[in-house]
C-alpha cells in the first residue's frame, strides 16, 4: 500500500513538472517565430543599453529607389525645396527619409546626398543615363554635409542659403536689424524673435554674416554665402557673445529696446562732418528727454548733438528715469562712441520736479 501511494505521488509530480515545462519547450521549438518578439518584462533596475546603429547601406538605398520609377515622376511644385539643406547644389536628406521623397529629389536634381549623422557618414547618389550610381565625397565635404544635420539648424537658415545661392533674396522683404545686439561687428539674431526677413537683411549687409542664438544652445556663426553655412569654431568668442547677450537682454528689460541697442548694438561712429564737439554742459530745461519706446534714430541724434539725453520708463504705475551719456566725447572721427547709463539720483528727480514745474516730462 505504501508503495502504491508513493507511486501515485510520483506520478502526479511528474505531470505537474511536465505542465510547467511545456510553454518553454514550445518557445524553443518555435525559434524562428519567437526570435523577433520579446515577451519578457524589462528589469526596472537595469541600466538602459543603447544598441549601436547600423551603418548606412547605400547599395540598399539604390536597390529600393528604382531608376525606372524615378523617370516616370513629374517635376515638383515651386517652393518644395525652400527649406531643404543643400550642398554644392545637391539636396541633402537624412538616412531615414522615406524613399518617395528621395526619388522625387533625384527626378528634380539628378543627385541627392544621404546623410547618416550619428555615424558621421554621407554619400551622394546620382541619376545618370537612366541608372543610379553611388559616389563618395572627399572627407572635408562629407564632414561639412554631416555638420549641416548635427546642429538641427533652423529651417529658415537653409532657406536663406538657398535664396543667397540663387541670388533671389530680393524676392522676399528684408526686416530692419538696427535693434539687435552686435558682437565683433556682426548682429546677433535670436531664434523665435528674428525671422527670415532679418536673416536676409543681415546676409546683405557687411560683413554679410551673423551670429545665430538658438534657444538653450550656444550661438553659431552663420555665413549664408558658402555651402559650409555655419562655423562651430567660435570658442574664443563665446564668452564675449554671452556677455553681450546677457547685457542686452538686461538693458532691454530695464531701459527699453532703443537704449539697449545703443549700448549693445551696432557701434555708433563719430562723424567727421558733425556739428563740432559735443556740448559739455546743457541747461536742465534743454535736456533731450524721451519715453523708453521712442525712436532710436532720435535718441542717437540727441547723443551726437548734445552728448546725452534722459529716458523714462513706467513700470507698474511708477516712473523711472535714466541718464544716457557719451563718456568719450572727444573721440576721433571714425571711432565709436562709448556710453554710460545711470538712474536719476534723488537730486536729479528733485530738480526735475520742483525747478521744472512747467517742463513737460515724457
Contact indicator for 261, 179 with CB cutoff of 8 Å: yes
Average pLDDT value over all residues in the chain: 81
Q: Look at residue 33 and tell me whether its pLDDT is greater than 60.
A: no
Burial of 261 (0-12, 13-18, 19+ CB in 10 A): buried
Q: Look at residue 36 and tell me whether its pLDDT is greater than 50.
A: no
Instruction: Point out which residues pair with 349 in neighbouring strands.
Output: none
CA neighbours within 13 Å on the CB side: how many for 247?
18
Which element (helix H / strand E) includes 211? strand 210-213
Q: pLDDT-derived band of residue 362, with 50, 70 and 90 as boundaries?
A: low
Q: pLDDT-derived band of residue 31, with 50, 70 and 90 as boundaries?
A: very low
Q: Residue 319: its pLDDT value, please?
A: 87
CA neighbours within 13 Å on the CB side: how many for 5?
2
Single out the residue of 149, 123, 147 nearest to residue 135, CA to CA: 123
Higher model confidence: residue 212 or residue 354? Answer: 212
Distance of alpha carbon 208 from alpha carbon 199, whole angstroms: 10
Q: Look at residue 4 and tell me whether its pLDDT is greater than 50.
A: no
Plot region of 216 (φ>0 → left; ψ -120 to 50 → alpha; else → beta): left
Instruction: Point out which residues pair with 136 in neighbouring strands.
Output: 123
- 127-136, 267-276, 330-339, 340-349: least confidently modelled range: 267-276
| Mean pLDDT score, 79-90 | 94
Q: pLDDT-derived band of residue 37, with 50, 70 and 90 as boundaries?
A: very low
User: pLDDT tens, 235-264?
Assistant: 778 889 999 999 999 999 999 999 999 999
Q: Look at residue 289 and tell me whether its pLDDT is greater than 80.
A: yes
Burial of 82 (0-12, 13-18, 19+ CB in 10 A): middle
| Mean pLDDT score, 321-341 | 93
Amino acid at each position: 500500500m505504501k508503495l502504491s501511494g508513493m507511486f501515485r505521488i510520483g506520478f502526479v509530480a511528474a505531470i505537474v513538472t511536465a505542465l510547467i515545462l511545456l510553454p518553454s519547450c514550445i518557445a524553443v521549438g518555435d525559434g524562428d517565430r519567437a526570435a523577433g518578439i520579446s515577451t519578457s518584462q524589462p528589469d526596472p533596475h537595469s541600466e538602459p543599453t543603447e544598441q549601436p546603429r547600423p551603418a548606412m547601406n547605400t547599395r540598399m538605398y539604390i536597390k529600393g529607389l528604382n531608376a525606372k520609377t524615378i523617370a516616370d515622376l513629374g517635376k515638383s511644385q515651386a517652393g518644395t525645396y525652400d527649406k531643404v539643406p543643400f550642398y554644392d547644389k545637391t539636396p541633402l536628406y537624412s538616412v531615414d527619409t522615406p524613399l518617395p521623397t528621395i526619388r522625387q529629389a533625384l527626378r528634380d536634381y539628378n543627385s541627392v546626398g544621404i546623410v547618416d549623422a550619428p555615424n558621421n557618414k554621407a554619400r551622394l547618389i546620382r541619376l545618370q543615363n537612366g541608372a543610379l550610381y553611388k559616389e563618395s565625397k572627399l572627407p572635408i565635404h562629407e564632414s561639412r554635409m554631416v555638420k549641416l544635420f548635427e546642429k538641427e539648424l533652423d529651417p529658415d537658415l537653409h532657406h536663406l542659403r538657398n535664396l543667397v545661392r540663387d541670388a533671389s533674396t530680393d524676392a522676399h522683404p528684408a526686416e530692419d536689424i538696427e535693434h539687435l545686439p552686435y558682437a565683433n561687428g556682426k548682429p546677433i539674431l535670436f531664434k523665435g524673435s528674428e525671422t527670415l526677413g532679418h536673416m536676409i537683411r543681415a546676409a546683405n549687409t557687411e560683413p554679410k554674416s551673423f551670429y545665430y542664438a538658438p534657444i538653450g544652445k550656444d550661438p553659431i556663426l552663420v555665413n549664408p554665402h558658402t555651402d559650409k553655412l555655419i562655423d562651430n569654431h567660435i570658442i574664443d568668442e563665446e564668452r564675449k557673445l554671452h556677455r553681450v547677450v546677457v547685457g542686452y537682454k538686461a538693458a532691454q528689460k530695464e531701459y527699453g529696446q532703443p537704449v539697449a541697442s545703443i549700448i549693445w548694438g551696432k557701434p555708433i561712429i563719430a562723424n567727421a562732418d558733425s556739428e563740432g564737439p559735443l556740448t559739455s554742459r546743457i541747461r536742465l530745461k534743454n535736456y533731450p528727454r524721451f519715453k523708453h519706446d521712442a525712436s532710436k534714430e532720435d535718441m542717437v541724434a540727441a547723443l551726437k548733438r548734445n552728448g546725452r539725453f534722459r529716458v523714462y520708463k513706467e513700470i507698474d504705475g511708477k516712473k523711472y528715469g535714466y541718464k544716457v551719456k557719451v563718456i568719450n566725447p572727444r573721440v576721433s572721427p571714425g571711432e565709436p562712441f562709448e556710453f554710460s547709463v545711470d538712474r536719476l539720483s534723488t537730486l536729479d528727480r528733485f530738480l526735475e520736479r520742483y525747478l521744472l514745474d512747467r517742463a513737460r516730462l515724457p
